[in-house]
Amino acid sequence: MSEIDMAIIKPEMMKPYIWLETSDGSIQQVEQEIAMYCPLICQEIIQKGMGSSKNCAICLPQRVSPAMLSLILDYCRFHQVPGRSNKERKSYDEKFIRIDTKRLCELTSAADSLQLKPLVDLTSRALARIIEGKSPEEIREIFHLPDDLTEVSGACENSEEKLEPLKNATDDPRIRLLNRLYAKKRRELKERERLKNVEAEEEHADERSVDDLLSFINGNGEDPKGIKTSKNKKKNRRKKEQHQKSTSLKEASEVNKKEINGQNIRHQSAEVDRIAETSNSHAEDLFAQKEFDDGDIDDGIDPALKEKIDREVADFARRLNSDWPERMQEFLSSGQEKKTMLFTPNGNSFLRRNACMCYPSVLNDFTYPLYACKLNFHPF
Amino acid sequence: MVTKRGNKNYLRKGRNYVVGEGSNLRGKEKEKRDKEDRLSNLPDELIHRILSTIDAKSCVQMSVLSKRWRNLWTTLPVLNLQDTSFSDPVLFESFVDHVLSHRDSSTNLHVVNFESYDDLQEGDVVDSIIDYITDTPTVTASIRLLSILADQCVVGSLPDLSLCQSLTTLNLSRICAEATPFEIVSLKSLYLIDCNFECGDEEVLDLFEDCVNLRRLSLHNCNYYGGFQTFRIHAPQLTYLSISWMRIDEMFNSNCDIELFTPKLQHFSYSDSDVYEFSSDEDLLSLEEFNVDVLLDEDTDSLVQLIELFEIMGSAKFVTLSTSIIEVMSMFPDELDGRSSPFTRLHDFKLNKDTPSSSTVVPPKVMAYLFGGSPGFWFNRWKDKNSRDNSEGDPEEFQEALSLQPFFNPRGVRNLTLIVDLHAG
């Protein structure tokens, strides 16, 4: 039956208004065009013929309160207009989700029950941005989550660099297993490193093993054996680690430029900032620990070399901490420049190296952008 | 709503059961409602959706939030394994190991995003992920998107992916692998970026023949070690093809030719510093978009290859060329002699300028060559893309359309896109 047929046979179905009933029992009239933007409502109207009068008002799912319905209708009212540009829509969306988290959760739930996928995506992503990068306490605070786990250790909630994902005091066999796994890995690495060192004795003090870094990081809670054997190498490790960190950051920030169409530049810099933050705090951490360690070290390093290393480490940490914002700007803008330098007369390798390290936006195939340069990707 | 029964007040509809003085009740009730945990009240599916854009480490860390969150991470259908939040590659590898082994293996896993920029010590974490995917029946059947970025990592288990019946998108970045054909029947999109492949001695390299459903293929900056003479792209369903910076034994090997068997191709993009020899048995009649971004040498060889490519892509309606092409054509107009215009249904022509400059003069011979073959198409006026009466649509839209090709980056390139209009006549 075509629409026109339906109009002739049942003129009241083409009325511009639809009746909706919300969870609290109240009934309201809504422009049909707007309400039809919600798949669930659309279904009710077309398949079941509901909503044409007050008596047969469409009963909305329980999760849709009047306040949420009002918000959702605002959203629909804006987006169902076909003539809007993507830019306008995005801008509207950004403003739209600037509501308190309580309502954001409710909105997600309501949109989900109405099967309004674009809005669910929007709100889910907004919630993800809120959650991401926060400590558990902060998350609990924001969302009023009950603190009902039997034991929660502070260690776990602290510096992300502490690392073991489930490092807490509950006697979880999985955690024990994981710790064993780590300890085993450390031992293996140490073994390997020692063999390597035997062969290459002139290795510069700077190139200490990752293993030493590992033990160092976990030095606080871990295997005392680990600490003792690697005490001597602490300072050098630290330096190497910071160096490693800065190069991996550099790369991370470069590859962060994955979204070429630039719509996520804001997002990218937030991402990069986050990396910056964690590494920053780590650098400070190390720095503080250096102070602490000074007292009880009995390492066999030649004091002159030790001093030199100390100075270098301190210098590096200071540099890392101080010119971070400038360097970030540099990375971000150099990322842009690299793209303009697609073609220079100079030669292939340079071009290739600097050609967009951009990842195609595979997200186009699915509805979920992954983070940052991150990415994107999930079919749901 | 509150109803009074006797001395006590109850809340209707099973809300928080509050017993207290009547007058305070409304206030307390509201307060309690305000403090309600609305996030955890969302169904699992929605929480999974929210977590799908957050890295796995954070998701696992959220298990300390509350009882509700304790095991949510074990049923995540999307795993984002990025090493950027780990300072140590070994810890990252252990983490990946832990997550996979403690995951609820009876739940679906749709997406795995793996990114590692550090030099992976042992290098088999990628293989272990692929092994997990192919050894766990629920996962093998449910995986839809696999994305791996592993700097300089040698991956050995790629052929096993042919077991995945639902895998529709595969992205491989920076890995090194043997050039075995991709035999993933369900695959629709394949992106290979910055990869290194070790090929055998065969003359013809055909990696995609068994991906019968392949729609989109993007080869960017890949290097193939081997002695092949022909790189064949056999993909009967392919609609989108993008090739850039292809290297053989780390060089541009002009002896190599690229054979296309892509009858349904709609979009073709090519970017490099030189042009390979292309061939196609069939006419690409469905072609809509044709983009070439090359910096041609000022000699005739590359120009000739390019002209041959134009012949293959002649059905394109929307053509974008880089200015150096026009410049080199202007330098050697004799090459255009005796050649009819390759484009027969040109609708829109754009020039990509990589450096902003005053103007590009297109000599009449070149114009005739480029535009003469399209009936009804003649030079109308140059239009600045950024001008107000740009009927091409929002500049943002334009950029989005090109965002599918990673090496065309309008944002970084200051474009003065000169648009020549089709004057409907």
Q: Give per-residue pLDDT as tens, A148-195.
A: 766 544 444 443 333 444 454 555 554 555 565 566 667 767 777 777
* Gap between the Cα atoms of B354 and B333, Å rounded: 23
The pLDDT value recorded for residue B114 is 94
- Beta partners for residue A364, in sequence order: none
Confidence of residue A10 (pLDDT cuts 50, 70, 90): low
Q: Collapsing DSSP states into helix, strand and coil, what is residue B272? A: strand
Whether A157 contacts chain B with CB within 8 A: yes
Model confidence at A344: pLDDT above 60? no
Predicted pLDDT of residue B280: 93
Check residue A9 and give its pLDDT: 52
* Higher pLDDT pick, A222 / A70: A70
Angle A110-A111-A113 from CA coordinates, rounded to 5°: 65
In this structure, the strands spanning B223-225 and B176-178 are unpaired
Residue of chain A whose alpha carbon sits nearest to that of B273: A348
**pLDDT tens figures, A51-63:** 888 888 888 888 8
Tell me the average pLDDT of chain A.
63
Residues of B in contact with A378 (CB under 8 A): 52, 77-78, 110-111, 145
Name the packing angle between helices A210-217 and A234-255 (round to 10°): 100
pLDDT confidence bin for A302, thresholds 50/70/90: low
Higher confidence at residue A208 or residue A117?
A: A117
In angstroms, the separation between the Cα of residue B54 and the nearest Cα of chain A is 6
User: What's the CA gap between B131 and B161, in Å, rounded?
Assistant: 9
Cβ distance of A86 and B66 shorter than 8 Å = no
**Structure confidence at residue A63 (pLDDT):** 87
Average the pLDDT over A24-49 and give the result: 87
B299 Cβ under 8 Å from any chain A Cβ = no
Q: What is the pLDDT along chain B (425 residues), one digit of tens a residue?
A: 444 444 444 444 444 444 444 445 566 666 666 667 778 788 888 999 999 999 998 888 888 888 888 888 899 999 999 988 888 888 888 999 999 999 998 999 999 999 998 876 556 899 999 999 999 999 999 999 999 999 888 898 999 999 999 999 999 999 999 999 999 999 999 999 999 999 988 899 999 999 999 999 999 999 999 889 999 999 999 999 999 999 999 999 888 999 999 999 999 999 999 999 999 988 899 999 999 999 888 888 889 999 999 999 999 999 999 888 888 888 888 888 888 889 988 888 888 876 555 466 778 888 888 888 887 665 544 444 443 343 444 444 333 332 222 233 333 333 334 444 333 32
Pick from A103, A123, A101, A97: nearest CA to A112: A123
Q: Chain B contacts of A118, Cβ < 8 Å? A: none
More confident residue, B123 or A12: B123
Closest residue of B to A177, CA-based? Answer: B98
> Looking at per-residue confidence, does B147 or A332 come out higher?
B147
pLDDT at position B213 is 95
A378, B16, B19, B22, B317 from B7: Cα distances, Å: 54, 18, 9, 9, 81
Residue B96 forms contact with A (CB below 8 Å): no
Nearest to B396 among A87, A132, A248 (CB): A87
Token code pair at residue A50? 């509901």
Of these ranges, A83-92, A154-163, A280-289, A339-348, the one predicted with the greatest mean pLDDT is A83-92
Residue with more model confidence, A306 or B50 = B50
For residue B144, the chain A residues in CB contact (below 8 A) are: 379
| pLDDT top residue among B407 and A100 | A100
To which residue do tokens 């050098």 refer? Answer: A236
Mean pLDDT check: name the lowest of A102-116, A258-272, A283-297, B407-421. B407-421
Q: Reply yes or no on whether the pLDDT at A223 is more than 50.
A: no
Higher pLDDT pick, B51 / A351: B51
Cβ pair B328, B303 in contact under 8 A = yes
Position A214 scores a pLDDT of: 52
**DSSP three-state, residue B293:** strand
Q: Which chain B residue's Cα is nearest to A181? A: B94
pLDDT of residue B320: 92
ipTM over 0.85? The verdict is no
Sequence-separated (6 or more) residues with CB below 8 Å from residue A171: none
Which helix (H) or strand (E) covers residue A87, if one does? helix A86-96
**Tens-place pLDDT, residues A282-299:** 444 444 444 444 444 444
More confident residue, B73 or A199: B73
Residues of B in contact with A351 (CB under 8 A): 245, 273
Largest CA distance in chain A: 98
Looking at the complex, does the CB of residue A368 fall below 8 Å from at least one CB of chain B?
yes
Per-residue pLDDT, A290: 41
DSSP state of B237: T
Q: How far apart are CA B423 and CA A157, in angstroms?
A: 65
Cβ-Cβ pairs closer than 8 A, A with B, add up to 286
